[in-house]
Structure 1
């Protein structure tokens, strides 16, 4: 009950009750007592000549009540609205401060009604905004520190090509360490190497090599367009890849040397042993066993020749020469080299690719599918013409691949087979990407692996 009386509604109710009571008292005083008795006493006892009537009527009482109540109501309204007006002015100042980004404004008014609750909520909101602003400033400081000290050169340009933000690496790359903010990025690129300028003008990601300070530097360029504060901006990232590529190149060469050394040892050690055995047999006169020794030596030498030829073909892969290929003669020729089951009819319109290279890819993929350990009749070939893309899929029902193997199967020289060279899938990837396409590997439901070639096709042929 006390809380209700302390509320703003309770105060207004009390003041209205006081005003009503005052009006009733004024009306009663004017019409009943004491004003009529006072006038009678003045007229009779003091013999004063008063022409006013002894009784004031209803309208007179009402007029007197209004005359008294108007100033009283004005004063009471002022008393009630004074704290509300002060609070509204304070809130107006707080909103203006928030609009200017100043969240330190708080209202120091101690009330226990609804206005007091509003003030406490406002102050709590200001405290929350101040804490969020402080955390945001700290995060921005951390982000700026990271961006400024990253080795990746970062340049942010606005809609007219002016540099809006640039880190330390970009200042050293384009302006000898001086600030880039406000400069025209096109003018800065005009003094940069031509390959770098053309890569930026293309608007696409690129990997390029440029001549800088007497040496060759390799950069990876990433470009993205986005809106910042409602305005278009473009972000350019220039990452130096020279050291990383050099490390990868060294690691790749080490892997190649290990694979070649392993294969050479596997072939040369038996050849050496067989040559020694053949010499002993010849010395003892056991010539009847020499043909077998020579045949084994020839077999190991042929395997070594094929191994070296596989690496040579991967290194000297020619540029594909796409042409329109009719499906029936192509599939008939493929069937002479490997066995497969056509899972669906071939498309009606011809494919557009280098027939020799794609045939080589499919031979390797079908051979791998047969070596997976699944049923031979489950090795299938599917060809689908999907808009401007040709999808060729080779599938089997073997054990499939683990996630680790799937992630590395397309890398050169990676193989899970003891006698594998790791070039089959890598060669498929190299040929497909030379056609502008891609290779996808996925395990099948129910077991098995699916290798998909996605080759772009002309829009109209």
Structure 2
């Protein structure tokens, strides 16, 4: 018999092959009958009846096995379609029970692995959505495939970016666009004076080139390190100046007293001037030392009516809206010093006192304190360096007022920002909720 015919027989179902077997046995029996007994209708009828009965019996015996095969085949199809919650009915599986058990074990393993994979995907998505790091994924044609909320806020005011071109999305940030084009990595200073660290990576996904861009905000970390360096320098300088000023003041005082005894008026006045300048310099140094040694905030519920009354006793301003109604914890003394510094700057800006406003806005997550004046505002350079220690645009300023404000609010886990308005300067303070404010400070 030709090989292709054997293949045709192999493709037949079990039922068809059993029927062929019965037919072959019938033909053999009929051939044997005619060879041994000759033509006999009764014997022929008996042989045919026996063949039909055998076929029926084989069919009945094969039916349970076919049902088991059908059930297992359905289970396998469910696994192929990704449905891992179904299984073969063990009560109806007998001959193929080991195979059914193997399929059930495979189904349980796949179900467990899918649940683990789903949890990992959910965790990864949660991390990406809540991360302050801006993440952008583009294809080989520079089309943005994925952008997390931080990236959307940075590039498109929180709006969707998927499907747009990265080059067009970075037109408002030429520094970033240039860094991406030149494959530059490292720190970037953006126009809003924020500092970001850019990392770029290329990889193959589904045999296609993809680009991953990660922008990590570094402004606060760098400012914190910068402030820490300034404080260390202040402590060293303050220590050396104190060691010099103390004996100098003592010598000046003694010299003044001796000159008065000798009735040397001009010499006494000279020593008096030296003593006064030493005292003024010492007061100046102490102010810097106090800034360098700002204590850790002692948190307690803020009594807002009392705090506002104390501020209005010293500086005039208009309270806009209501006072906070939720429980907010802070170091009241430090918070008062912060607001006094800001009010002092507002009055020194040349703004009319009645145009200086203080406003509170709160939600469950944070309290926003906004102070606004009607002065000339700040230049771009002043806005950029206003929070840097020792920087001042005033002829007699020390340059630590706003730096102290930033140090106080950041010690509370919050932040400070400045921006020019159409008329005047707006200073915004963000104070975190009670839970965040009571966490251990870094």
TM range (shorter): 0.3 to 0.5
- Normalising to structure 2: TM-score of the pair? 0.42
Q: Which has the larger radius of gyration?
A: 1
